[in-house]
Structure 1
Amino acid sequence: MTPPLPDGVARHDFDGTTGIATRGHPEYGEATDGEYRRWDPHRSKLGAMLALGMDTGLEAGQPTLYLGAAAGTTVSHVADFGGPTYAVEFAPRPARDLLDVAGHRDNLFPLLKDARKPGTYAHVVEPVDVVVQDVATRGQARVAALNRQFLDGDGRLLAAVKARSEDVTADPEEVFEAVVAELEASYEVLDTEPLDPYHEDHLGVVARPLE
């Protein structure tokens, strides 16, 4: 049975095609109908996780830390239905676009920071219910471990593991096994699923911090 979508995320029809959607200001040329904006799973790893029916545990109004926000495609949808949303992005160019996205959302707070150095934003970010991770760097499990400190209580890590960012020459399945094994030192992994056909060589991971 497919888990329910969080409040604020709906299955909606756009020109005869049904997809997931949120209510908010359009940001990246996505289909809209004046009320809803399509959450394109081809442009969003978290969107792909939801479209594939993964049980993310997302709920409306949750404080969220988003690592690897880029220009704001996915984090804009998260902020549409979430609570305070802290968006960490390392590269200045996409961070400028992220500022424009935040201009339409009072609960979205861009941070020009490196997700590998959470000490640089620990004084700003409150405890959160969700950490969404979409970083294109080697050592993705380490990034998740370093940012575990922000997860409150029974929080969730929702990560998109990029095989080619870890090792462009290795077999993706072997990379996924190694990253998940490393994650298990600090998280209980609840679910994993390849993000095909939306994102090749990516693995969606749902986990919660070990006590």
Structure 2
Amino acid sequence: MEEIFTNVFIDGDKLFTKNLIKGERVYGEKLVDFKGNELREWNPRRSKLAAAIMKGYRNLPFKKDSKILYLGAATGTTVSHISDIVENGKIFSVEMSERSMRQFLNISEVRDNIYPILEDASSPNLYSGLIEQVDFIYQDVAQKHQHEILIKNSVYLKKGGTVFYCVKARSIDSSKPPEEIFKEEIKQIEKKFNIVDTVDLSPYEKDHIIIIAILR
């Protein structure tokens, strides 16, 4: 077992985060003890960030007090693991589905660093009074104009802040080859960001990449 980032551990082909709420599971994940700490297994088939790490991404810049805007929180699987990592930080978590949010609230109620926001990420002005300037944006939104959502929300990102942009090719255009879509998305966000890395998420996710970029 090795700690590869703050509160993130790897043991062979298994990934873990240090559990912020001891004894609590979020999605039925395995809990293990390591040197007096309780760790939660982080499933790369249920979290794109975990998939990127398992594919070799080794520059995760989150700190214990980081502030993050998470777009597309869904039911909170990945958010919960980021909550473990940024234990003293804040995660402003935007989700537009009321059904997903009802499930997500069960997590946020016991994790004080998660701030749930029931709104559409394509209209960031709707939650301007609910969040602060953030160090990072993590976006996992299955909509056609994904890059436009990211650019709109960059108003909340500190200069020099980092984005993790999950690109779902089939959500943008199922008729084009994914590689063509990925190139176009990179071209679009290069207008405002400097690309520092891209990670293909196969075999964990088909036709997905994560683009990591820094706001100019």
TM-score, normalization by structure 2? 0.90
Tell me if the contact between 2:199 and 2:210 (Cα under 8 Å) persists in the aligned partners: yes
> Partner residue of 1:197?
203
Q: Equivalent of 1:38, from 38, 41, 45?
A: 41
Deviation sequence 1:78-107 (CA, Å, 0-9, x none): 111211111100110000011001012011
Amino acid at match of 1:71: T
Q: How many residues align?
A: 204
Amino acid at match of 1:42: R
Q: Equivalent of 1:96, from 97, 102, 113?
A: 102
1:122 corresponds to 2:122: no
Tell me if the contact between 1:56 and 1:158 (Cα under 8 Å) persists in the aligned partners: no
TM-score, normalization by structure 1? 0.92
The equivalences for 1:50-199 within 5 A come to: 50-54=53-57, 55-82=59-86, 83-199=89-205
Could you list the runs of 5+ residues in structure 1 that have no partner in the other structure? Answer: none
How far 1:8 sits from its partner (Å)? 1.4
SS of residue in 1 equivalent to 2:5: coil
Tell me if the contact between 2:15 and 2:50 (Cα under 8 Å) persists in the aligned partners: no
Alpha-carbon distance in structure 1 between the residues aligned to 2:63 and 2:70: 15
| RMSD, aligned CA | 1.5
Alpha-carbon distance in structure 2 between the residues aligned to 1:185 and 1:18: 37
How far 1:193 sits from its partner (Å)? 1.7
Tell me if the contact between 1:128 and 1:152 (Cα under 8 Å) persists in the aligned partners: yes
Indicate the larger mover: 47-56 or 110-119.
47-56
How far 1:12 sits from its partner (Å)? 4.3
Amino acid at match of 2:54: A
Amino acid at match of 1:19: L
Tell me if the contact between 1:22 and 1:38 (Cα under 8 Å) persists in the aligned partners: no
1:20 corresponds to 2:16: yes
Alpha-carbon distance in structure 2 between the residues aligned to 1:72 and 1:173: 29
How far 1:10 sits from its partner (Å)? 1.6
Tell me if the contact between 1:141 and 1:183 (Cα under 8 Å) persists in the aligned partners: yes
Tell me if the contact between 2:92 and 2:117 (Cα under 8 Å) persists in the aligned partners: yes
Indicate the larger mover: 159-168 or 48-57.
48-57
**Percent identity (aligned):** 35
Alpha-carbon distance in structure 2 between the residues aligned to 1:156 and 1:71: 23
